Amino acid sequence: MTELKAIIFDVDGTLADTESTHLKAFNAAFQESSLDWHWSVEDYTELLKISGGKERIAHYWKNHQAEIQFIDGATMQSTIDQIHLVKTAFYESAVRNHEVQMRAGVLEIIDAALSTGIVLAIATTTSPVNIAALLRHAIGEDWRKCFSVVEDASTAPMKKPHPQVYLQTLQRLGLPAPFCLAIEDSNNGLRSALTAGLKTVITTNAFTKHHDFSGALQVLPDLAGIGIEQLQGWHQRTLVSPSTPSFAKPL
């Protein structure tokens, strides 16, 4: 049996219940940018099929406002960059105001893993400023000391379900995939992890509970009451994963 040596966490929707706050921040940014856009919960649930905030804005723009290429003389991409910058500021403010909470059981798993010598890592396609804002608030200024590796949108630009972020995390950990366990919350995240060869535990949330999680070790509402021993036990299982997509772009 292969020993569990590392746990790799996604961030948004996995470490913390962030998506409702992200949605509020997007809508606040649209208003601040004088755009007549408003995403409903249903809109955002659909948009979460696309990884990356800027990518979601671009997708929405192209599908709902395709005739508009410039706003106040700015190109589409520069406008998207500016909207996302404003959105990030709103999100960081919400985190500082205690509007974002870590998910049940997450901090306990982090503490237990560190006390038993299991290495922790982050593999996300969110921005580094969002990660820092969240974990400074939840863990403290020294939050990075908890994670041996942090891969994010700045280091892995190919968004999930592409496996780049997980492959780079494994490379930096210096561990083969069979020694690691991923914890995710979405279909895109699961596909990314499976394609990298990782066994994966899913913790669903209101935005992802309807996703297809075929191939996951376990699908849970959260990590409350889950111990390291249970994660180690699940990790020992041998699953035949469903076929996963191939990606032509080099890593």
- 10, 17, 152, 185: the catalytic one is 10
**Helix boundaries (H) for the chain:** 19-32, 41-47, 53-64, 76-96, 106-115, 128-138, 164-173, 187-195, 228-235
Q: Which two tokens stand for residue 124?
A: 């996300």
Contact between 135 and 100 (Cβ < 8 Å): no
Which residues have C-beta within 8 Å of that of residue 42, sequence separation ≥ 6? none
- 12, 17, 152, 185: the catalytic one is 12
Q: Which residue has the tokens 């804005």?
A: 57
Catalytic (active site) residue 10: yes
Phi, psi of 31 (to 5 degrees): -65, -45
Please give the positions annotated as active site.
Answer: 10, 12
